[in-house]
Amino acid sequence: MTREIPYTKGLHRLSEHCWAWLVPDGSWGWSNAGLVTGERESLLVDTLFDLPLTREMLDGLAEITAEHPLSTVVNTHANGDHWFGNELVSGAEIITSAATAAEMPDNGPELMRGVLGQEGPIGRFGRHIMGQFDFDSVTPTYATRTFTEQLRLDIGGTTVELHCLGPAHTEGDSVVLVPGEGVLYAGDLLFIGGTPISWAGPVTNWIAACDRMLAMDADRIVPGHGPVTDENGVREVRDYLEWVHAEAVERHRKGMSAEDAMRDISLGRFAELNERGRLAQNILAVYYELDPGMERVDTREVFRRIAELEGFS
């Protein structure tokens, strides 16, 4: 773990041209962002879950962006806590992977409002984890440029590489590498201190994405959620994914349903992670991989199962 960078809210310098904007505690919706500067311009990695959070971040970056105006925004994936603030930076070019651009319309603020408006445990759980965010004022603002596998950018003389490593957490997960400075912005391919969640899968592809991140040889890695980390943090996420894959495969072979499997699996050393209930979706992701014809469970039912494991019955 990169302990010299404290996990406190706000701006933290990582290298000559790289910064992280950290938002503890890293649980549902409390995500990180990044800034890469060059000569008279800069690139922002992700916006935040609502406009107040994004305004606060942009104000916190203002001393830097006054000299290095934002020319480019990269959204690492289609979950709203990484792009709902885009309207506040709409003057910049907004880049995502093509798969992320395709997912964004179905992952807008109306999806969040729908969860919050549910009755029973789904609604109670949704309001517990997301009730403090303002989705009513968000105007979805989408990418103006897309790429498929890789894209190399010159940000005022600073080389930035975009790599699409999904599908994994979502269909189009991308990471942002600044190779000359050993800095990697991993988006939600990394949760540090919290449980990863595979909305898209396959989980085996996420494991492979961890190996690809390790091969990028970055020594300062900004996760989508949690403190700045290093290669050990990537290995810890990979360990969880390999474990949950093995546990789910075993129960699938026994003919156990995904819902029964989620109740049967003991978390062991991973019980210390936050958001333990995400196991419910991770098991589904493995089951979908093993049985591509399996009927998909809708988002509301997934939240019901997560809520059950989190004690919101």
CATH of the domain at 25: 3.60.15.10
Place 312 in a pLDDT band, splitting at 50, 70 and 90: confident
Amino acid identity of 236? E
- Asked if residue 305 belongs to a domain, the reply is no
- Asked if residue 2 belongs to a domain, the reply is no
Overall domain count for the chain: 1
For residue 184, the tally of other CB atoms under 10 A from its CB is 31
- Residue 94, judged by CB atoms within 10 A of its CB (0-12, 13-18, 19+), counts as buried
Q: In which element (H, E) is residue 221 found? A: strand 220-225
User: What's the pLDDT at 153?
Assistant: 98
- Asked if residue 245 belongs to a domain, the reply is no
User: What's the pLDDT at 158?
Assistant: 98
- Asked if residue 274 belongs to a domain, the reply is no
- Residue 231, judged by CB atoms within 10 A of its CB (0-12, 13-18, 19+), counts as middle
- Asked if residue 291 belongs to a domain, the reply is no
- Asked if residue 99 belongs to a domain, the reply is yes
Q: What is the pLDDT of residues 94-121, one digit of tens each?
A: 999 999 999 999 999 999 999 999 988 8
Tell me the CA end-to-end span of the chain in Å, nearest whole number.
36
Query: Per-residue pLDDT for 1 more than 80?
Result: no
Note down the domain range covering 46.
Answer: 10-231
What is the C-alpha separation between 229 and 219, in angstroms, rounded? 8
Beta bridge partners of 36: 18, 43
- DSSP letter at 80? G
In order, the DSSP letters of 99-150 are HHHHHGGGGSHHHHHHHHT--HHHHHHHHHHHTTS--TT------SEEESSE
- Asked if residue 97 belongs to a domain, the reply is yes
Q: What is the pLDDT of residues 13-41, one digit of tens each?
A: 999 999 999 999 999 999 999 999 999 99
- Asked if residue 259 belongs to a domain, the reply is no
What is the C-alpha separation between 206 and 209, in angstroms, rounded? 5
What is the C-alpha separation between 202 and 107, in angstroms, rounded? 19
Query: Per-residue pLDDT for 249 more than 50?
Result: yes
- DSSP letter at 214? H
Spatial strand order of the sheet with 220-225 comes to 150-155, 158-164, 174-178, 183-191, 220-225
What is the C-alpha separation between 269 and 273, in angstroms, rounded? 9
User: What's the pLDDT at 90?
Assistant: 83
What is the pTM (predicted TM-score) of this model? 0.97
For residue 62, the tally of other CB atoms under 10 A from its CB is 9
